[in-house]
């Protein structure tokens, strides 16, 4: 550094001043006149070095202030965990399943807590004990009916892992594989890029697919109108956000629909159920499902049903009206409006806003995907021991999985999920955090 260089110059100057030029050893033979004469010669050099050091310190300070995410100074114990920090957020990501294992965010008093469900170590993930906590799911998120589809006149039989259906890519989906991970530079700081190559025939799907997921933290470029009863006012221009960007290419026609499957609890992962969280979904229609949670193919308005979150209310307000005593809960795809692309825009629009009244934490979800699966952890039953020994009970977390429609490969009415050679699948999600 410039400071170090300055110290080195000072030491070299001192050595030249205090030691005799004729002596090969440090004999301390010097005089006052020699010292004064030498110091005069070194003054310009010292002033210049000091100026350079000051300039370097100022440069470092201002550039660090402008970056939203940096590689942390504290490295996790597990070498397969990567960390991004910035804007008051701290995100831990595993290369296994490209999984978000922890996310720390401040409450209205500035106290940070981990607001995602998950495990303390990687073993439960790698041993298949995770109900998709925090991971990237693919090659096709959600369900494909009867583990079967036809494409270009050919029938493909997939691995069934959810009754008769294929769920989140099959028995070994992208949540259960190791991704290559590396920190990469971004104009707003460091990002984490993960890549995975899915071979032709994996879980029955055609084509070799190269998938990329990039996580980064930012405080710019994601502003939109606040949706939680703000009377139309704008959020402050800089809100810390987690941006997730997914891309995939293929050498054969194949369905691709990736999703990020984090279970959120804005009160803290240990705080109990999310039924008192207040939710708004920017959607006025949903796709109803049959007994196997496969969409019937209809698109039905939510108005007047327990599925209506167009006007914000507590998640638990109408949840028991969604089913009987054993099956109630939300696990439905909501139809989002088409994103409005404009110059300089990433094409995302607001999909959902959530508020937790005790801590004051709030989160907006923006995306360019056509749908969002709202899931309330209906299959959690207290048998899973998560971080800090917490037993995750029913409704301990919620998911907002932005996605293509479930079973879209078998329903021509739904938005297309087929990607062909030469095309690039893209999917962006922004999780924006603030307090109220």
Q: Decide if 395 is catalytic.
A: no
Do 429 and 366 contact (CB within 8 A), yes or no?
A: yes
280 phi, psi to nearest 5 deg: -125, 130
Burial (CB < 10 A; 0-12, 13-18, 19+), residue 225, is exposed
Predicted local distance difference test score (pLDDT) of residue 48: 52
Buried b (16+ CB within 10 A) or exposed e, 131-163: ebbbbbbbbbbbbbbbbbbebeeeebebbbbbe
Rounded (10°) CA dihedral 282, 285, 287, 288? 120
Whether residue 407 is predicted with pLDDT greater than 50 in this model: the reply is yes
**8-17, 197-206, 218-227, 400-409, range with the lowest pLDDT:** 8-17
Model confidence over 208-224: pLDDT tens digits? 999 999 999 998 654 44
What tens digit of pLDDT does each residue of 299-317 get?
999 999 999 999 999 999 9
pTM value surpassing 0.85: no
Of the pLDDT bands very low, low, confident and very high (cuts 50, 70, 90), residue 71 is very low
pLDDT at 395 over 90: yes
Active-site residue (options: 168, 186, 261, 431)? 261
**Is the pLDDT score of 20 beyond 60?**
no
Whether the predicted pLDDT of 130 surpasses 50: yes
- Distance between CA 396 and CA 272 in Å, rounded? 6
What lies within 8 Å, CB to CB, of 51 at 6+ separation is none
Is 261 in the active site? yes
pLDDT exceeding 70 applies to what percent of the chain? 76
Give every CB contact of residue 244 below 8 A, 6+ residues apart in sequence: 213, 214, 215, 260, 428, 429, 430, 431
pLDDT in tens, 259-277: 999 999 999 999 999 999 9
Cβ burial, residue 285 (10 Å; 0-12/13-18/19+): middle
- The mean per-residue pLDDT over the stretch 72-101 comes to 83
Q: For 327, phi and psi rounded to 5 degrees?
A: -115, 0
Mean pLDDT of 345-373: 94
Distances (CA, A) of 349 to 218, 282, 426: 17, 9, 15
Residue 398 in contact with residue 135, Cβ under 8 Å?
no
**Residue 354: per-residue pLDDT:** 98
Of the residues 90, 401, 427, 431, which is catalytic?
401
The dihedrals phi and psi of 38, each to the nearest 5 degrees, come to -70, -40
């Amino acid at each position: 550094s410039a400071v170090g260089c300055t110290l080195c110059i000072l030491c070299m100057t001192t050595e030249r001043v205090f030691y005799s030029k004729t002596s090969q050893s440090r004999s301390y033979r010097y005089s006052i006149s020699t010292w004064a004469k030498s110091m005069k010669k070194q003054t310009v050099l010292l002033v210049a070095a000091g100026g350079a050091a000051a300039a370097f310190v100022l440069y470092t300070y201002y550039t660090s202030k402008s970056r939203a995410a940096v590689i942390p100074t504290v490295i996790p114990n597990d070498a397969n965990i990567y960390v991004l920090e910035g804007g008051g957020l701290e995100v831990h990501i595993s290369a296994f399943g490209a999984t978000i294992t922890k996310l720390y965010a401040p409450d209205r008093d500035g106290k940070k807590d981990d607001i995602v469900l998950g495990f303390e170590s990687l073993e439960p993930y790698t041993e298949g004990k995770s109900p998709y906590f925090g991971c990237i799911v693919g090659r096709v998120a959600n369900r494909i009916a009867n583990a079967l589809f036809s494409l270009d006149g050919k029938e493909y039989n997939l691995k069934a892992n959810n009754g008769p259906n294929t769920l989140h890519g099959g028995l070994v989906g992208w949540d259960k594989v190791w991704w290559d991970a590396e920190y990469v530079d971004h104009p707003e700081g460091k990002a984490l890029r993960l890549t995975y190559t899915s071979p032709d025939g994996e879980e029955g799907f055609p084509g070799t697919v190269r998938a990329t997921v990039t996580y980064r933290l930012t405080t710019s470029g994601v502003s939109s109108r606040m949706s939680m009863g703000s009377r139309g006012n704008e959020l402050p221009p800089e809100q810390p956000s987690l941006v997730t960007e997914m891309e995939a290419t293929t050498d054969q026609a194949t369905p691709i629909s990736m999703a990020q499957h984090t279970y959120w609890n804005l009160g803290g992962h240990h705080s109990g159920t999310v039924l008192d969280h207040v939710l708004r979904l920017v959607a006025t229609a949903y796709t109803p499902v049959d007994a196997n949670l496969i969409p019937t193919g209809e698109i039905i308005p939510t108005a007047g049903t327990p599925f209506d979150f167009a006007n914000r209310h507590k998640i638990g307000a109408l949840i028991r009206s969604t089913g009987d005593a054993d099956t109630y809960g939300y696990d439905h795809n909501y139809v989002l409006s088409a994103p409005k692309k404009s110059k300089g825009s990433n094409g995302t629009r607001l999909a959902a806003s959530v508020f937790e009244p005790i801590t004051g934490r709030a989160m907006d979800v923006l995306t360019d995907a056509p749908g969002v699966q709202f899931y309330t952890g209906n299959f959690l039953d207290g048998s899973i021991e998560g971080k800090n020994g917490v037993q995750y009970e029913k409704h301990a977390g919620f998911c907002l999985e932005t996605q293509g429609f479930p079973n879209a490969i078998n329903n021509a009415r739904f938005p297309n999920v087929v990607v062909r050679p030469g095309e690039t699948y893209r999917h962006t999600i922004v999780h924006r955090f603030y307090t109220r």
